[in-house]
Amino acid sequence: MWIADGWKDYEVIDTSAGEKLERWGDYLLVRPDPQVIWNTPRKARGWTHPNAHYHRSKKGGGEWEFFDLPEQWSIHYKSLTFHLKPFSFKHTGLFPEQAANWDWFSEKIRTAGRPVKVLNLFAYTGGATLAAAAAGAAVTHVDASKGMVGWAKENARASALESAPIRWIVDDCVKFVEREIRRGNHYDAIIMDPPSYGRGPKGEIWKIEDAIYPLVQLCAKLLSDEPLFFLINSYTTGLAPAVLSYMIATELKPFGGHVDSQEVGLPVSSNGLVVPCGASGRWER
C-alpha cells in the first residue's frame, strides 16, 4: 500500500463504526467512510466535540451538522496551500491520500533532466496540478466543472504558482483528449483521477467501469516518444489494483517501462491502522 504519511496539517485521528475523525488544520471533522466497518471504542475527545459532523442518510446522501467551522479555511502540504470548504456531499475539496502520488511523480519530474509536459484529467481542485507545477512541469489542467477549475486557480494563487505554466481548461475530458489527438499534441506524463460516476458539461454520462479503458487507449496516443509516467486513480472498489495494472500495461506496452498498482491509504494516528482510500496504477520508465 502507498501511504500518504507526509502531512503535518492533516491527520486521521481515529476510525470507528463507519466514520473517521480527522484534523484539517485547526478543525476537527467527523465524516462517513464506507471502508471503516470495524467498531472500536471512541476514546479521542474530538468524537464528542468536532467542529462539524457529516451525517449519512439511510435514504442516500446526507447533511452537515456545523458546530464551529468557518465557511472556508486553508491547509498546507509542503510548499502547497489548499483552500477547503464543506461540500453538500461530505467532501472538503481535497483528497489527502493523493499526497502519496504527488510525492512520487514530483520526484520523477524534478530528476527528469528535461522539460516535462503533464496532462491532468478530472483535475478537480488542482492538488496534482500544483504538485507537478511546483516540481517544474508545464501542466494542462482539465475538468468539466467551471467551479472546480476556478477553485484550482485560487489554490494556485495561494501556493504562489499563479505564474507557473499551467493551462486551465473547462471541458469534457474525453472530448478534450480526442481534440488533442487531432491537433497532434503530446505529453510526457498523464494523470487521471476519474470519478466512479459523473456527468460532463453537456450531460455526458461517465461510468468508470465502461469508460476508463477506452480513455486509456486514447491517452496512449497522446504520449510523447519518451514518456515519463502515467497515473490512474480509482475510488471504485470494483476495480482492483491488478485491473489497473493490466489495463495500463496492455496499452503502454510499446513504451516498455514498469507498471505497479497498489491501494492508497491514510495512517490513523490513534492506533496505527491505515484507512484504504482506493487504488492507484502507476507506469514509469
Domain ranges (residues) in the chain: 2-84, 97-284
State whether CATH 3.40.50.150 applies to domain 97-284.
yes
Over residues 116-145, the mean pLDDT reads 97
Q: Look at 202 and 252; give whichever has higher pLDDT.
A: 252
User: Closest by alpha carbon to 179, among 188, 191, 171?
Assistant: 171
CATH topology identical between 2-84 and 97-284: no
- Residues 6 or more apart whose Cβ sits within 8 Å of residue 229: 105, 108, 189, 282, 283, 284, 285
Q: Is there a contact between 283 and 229 (Cβ–Cβ < 8 Å)? A: yes
User: In which band, very low, low, confident or very high, does the pLDDT at 237 lie, cut at 50, 70 and 90?
Assistant: low
Among 81-95, 101-115, 201-215, the range of highest mean pLDDT: 101-115
Q: What is the model's pLDDT at position 197?
A: 77
User: In which band, very low, low, confident or very high, does the pLDDT at 236 lie, cut at 50, 70 and 90?
Assistant: low
- What burial class does residue 78 get, using C-beta atoms within 10 Å of its C-beta: 0-12 exposed, 13-18 middle, 19+ buried? middle
Mean pLDDT of the chain: 94
Over residues 30-58, the mean pLDDT reads 94
**pLDDT above 90 coverage of the chain, percent:** 86
Q: What is the model's pLDDT at position 142?
A: 98
Q: Look at 196 and 230; give whichever has higher pLDDT.
A: 230
CATH of span 2-84:
2.60.40.1180
Over residues 205-211, the mean pLDDT reads 79
pLDDT digits (tens, 9 = 90+) for 49-103: 999 999 988 877 899 999 999 999 999 999 999 999 998 889 999 999 999 999 9
| Lowest mean pLDDT, pick from 25-29, 187-191, 240-244 | 240-244
Q: What is the model's pLDDT at position 62?
A: 92
Q: Is the pTM of this model over 0.85?
A: yes
User: In which band, very low, low, confident or very high, does the pLDDT at 196 lie, cut at 50, 70 and 90?
Assistant: confident
pLDDT digits (tens, 9 = 90+) for 135-182: 999 999 999 999 999 999 999 999 999 999 999 999 999 999 999 999
Q: Is the pLDDT of residue 200 over 70?
A: no
Q: Is the pLDDT of residue 205 over 80?
A: no
